[in-house]
């Protein structure tokens, strides 16, 4: 009996070594440290320090099986409390915002778990969903089906879930397109089921980069009897030596709000010093924005922004942003930047914010 047990143990050890030998685990990560200064011209001015560290562990096997987890550590404001409180996380200072598993076979990729939920910064970006995803990718075509469970209940039939289809196509070396369409089914609130989606076209014509996108949300998703919501933009950029200008115009109407990752510095873009979080949040909006990126050297870059928004329902009137960013690559993988922004609501209210930031990646 002992010989049998020893034989089984030896076989298990050999099998375990073989399994580990066929697998590969990669570690990467990033971190940041920043000093944010807000309302620097007013009586309510304040400054705060914060930092964040993240580790990404990704395992792969020769058979195509994989798994990924992203772990965040002490993503919080300095207060010397030891355990840092974060919304929805209590006093936990280590947590994972992504964790999913899957497998690849040929052109197919199937995965499930807490995954990134990205399409474009205009529609949805840098979010996570509890998701099942099946993807086909070959010859410049990407076709994906997603199922997101937004709310799961056991005591009542009040679930919320989203079915989605994504189609991306490379039309040529200088042109590509994408479409994302989803259908929301919400059993908690009556008459809140509906469709939403977005479509984009991106072109590079002789060095002129042109992009257009149009998004739509069925009114029932926003509320019973609500009008359908729309929003779209067009942008152009080109490089002239070390200078790259970008011009963008767009609109939102009937309640469409752009993802908070879209924007500049004081309007959108989800910076810590952003004041106007989402284009469209104040009502029907028309905007025009101009930016210029200047490469002063291989390590030093400068960006300037000038933005105007006409917002129908905003009591403070039109919105103006003047902002800039100076970025310096200290060493490979470490970047130091300074952002300064001015936001004006038609001279009714104005604010100046700034941030020093160190980003590292490895």
Handedness of CA 167, 172, 174, 175 (dihedral sign): negative
Q: What are the residues facing 53 on neighbouring strands?
A: 31, 73
Output the CA torsion 88→92→93→99 (10° steps).
Answer: -70
Task: Round to whole Å and give the CA distance between 133 and 164.
Answer: 9
Per-residue pLDDT at 1: 39
- Alpha carbon separation from 265 to 54, 324, 342, 352 (Å, rounded): 23, 8, 9, 11
What is the C-alpha to C-alpha distance for residues 72 and 177, in angstroms, rounded to an integer?
34
Q: Are 195 and 181 in contact (CB under 8 A)?
A: yes
Residue 261 confidence (pLDDT): 97
* Phi, psi at 2, each rounded to 5°: -65, -40
Find, among 22, 314, 262, the residue nearest to 123 by Cα.
262
Give the structural domain span for 349: 227-362
Exposed e or buried b for every residue in 284-306, given b needs 16+ CB within 10 A? Answer: bbebebebbbeeeeeeebebebe
pLDDT tens-digit profile of 238-279? 999 999 999 999 999 999 999 999 999 999 999 989 999 999
Instruction: Report the distance separating Cα 248 and Cα 268, nearest Å.
Output: 14
Tokens 């152009």 — which residue?
236
Q: pLDDT tens-digit profile of 271-290? A: 989 999 999 998 999 999 99
Instruction: Flag whether 320 is in a domain.
Output: yes
Residue 176 lies in a domain: no
* Residue 211 within any structural domain of the chain: no
pLDDT along the chain (362 residues), means of 10: 41 42 86 89 75 95 96 81 52 85 97 96 95 97 96 73 97 97 84 92 97 96 90 98 97 96 96 94 95 97 97 81 98 96 83 95 94
What pLDDT is stored for residue 151 in this prediction? 80
* Structural domain total, the chain: 1
Distances 202 to 167, 199, 238, 239, 305 between C-alpha atoms, Å: 14, 10, 13, 16, 22
pTM listed for this prediction: 0.87
Calpha distance 257→271 (Å, rounded): 17
In a domain, 121, yes or no: no
- CA–CA distance, 124 with 241 (Å, rounded to integer): 33
Contact 66, 42 (CB under 8 A): no
Look at residue 312 and tell me if it is in a domain. Answer: yes
Q: Determine contact, residues 264/258, Cβ cutoff 8 Å.
A: no
Q: Does residue 156 lie in a domain region?
A: no
Bridge-based pairing of strands 349-361 and 285-295 is unpaired
Output the domain CATH number for residue 320.
2.40.160.40
Give Cα separations from 166 to 134, 187, 251, 259, 342 (angstroms). Answer: 10, 24, 24, 18, 38
Can you say whether the dihedral through the CA atoms of 348, 283, 189, 217 is positive or negative?
negative
288 within some domain:
yes
Q: Is residue 222 part of a domain?
A: no
Bridge partners (DSSP) of residue 76 are 51
Can you tell me whether residue 314 is helix, strand or coil?
A: coil
Q: How far apart are CA 229 and CA 244, in angstroms?
A: 33
């Amino acid at each position: 009996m002992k010989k049998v047990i020893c034989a089984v143990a030896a076989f298990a050890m050999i099998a375990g070594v073989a399994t580990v030998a066929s697998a590969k685990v990669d570690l990467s990560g990033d971190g940041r440290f920043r000093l944010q200064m807000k309302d620097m011209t007013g009586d309510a001015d304040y400054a705060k320090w914060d930092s964040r560290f993240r580790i990404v562990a990704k395992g792969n096997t020769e058979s195509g099986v994989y798994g990924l987890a992203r772990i965040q550590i002490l993503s919080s404001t300095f207060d010397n409390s030891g355990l840092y409180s974060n919304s929805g996380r209590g006093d936990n200072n280590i947590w994972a915002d992504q964790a999913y598993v899957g497998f690849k076979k040929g052109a197919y990729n199937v995965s499930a778990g807490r995954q990134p939920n990205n399409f474009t910064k205009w529609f949805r970006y840098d979010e996570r969903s509890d998701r099942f995803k099946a993807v086909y990718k070959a010859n410049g075509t990407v076709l994906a089906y997603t199922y997101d469970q937004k709310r799961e209940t056991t005591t009542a039939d009040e679930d919320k879930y989203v079915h989605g289809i994504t189609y991306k196509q490379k039309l040529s070396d200088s042109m590509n397109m994408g479409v994302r369409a989803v259908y929301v089914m919400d059993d908690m609130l009556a008459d809140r089921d509906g469709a939403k989606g977005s479509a984009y076209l991106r072109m590079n014509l002789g060095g002129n980069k042109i992009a257009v996108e149009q998004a739509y949300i069925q009114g029932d998703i926003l509320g019973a009897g609500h009008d359908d919501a729309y929003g779209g933009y067009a942008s152009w950029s080109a490089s002239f030596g070390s200078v790259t200008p970008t011009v963008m115009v767009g609109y939102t109407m009937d309640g469409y709000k752009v993802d908070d990752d879209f924007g500049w510095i004081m309007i959108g873009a989800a910076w810590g010093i952003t004041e106007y979080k989402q284009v469209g949040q104040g009502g029907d909006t028309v905007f025009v924005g101009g930016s210029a990126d200047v490469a002063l050297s291989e390590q030093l870059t400068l960006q300037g922004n000038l933005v105007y928004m006409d917002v129908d329902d905003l009591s403070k009137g039109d919105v103006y942003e003047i902002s800039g960013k100076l970025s310096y690559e200290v060493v490979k993988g470490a970047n130091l930047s300074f952002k300064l922004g001015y936001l004006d609501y038609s001279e009714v209210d104005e604010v100046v914010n700034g941030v020093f930031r160190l980003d590292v990646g490895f």
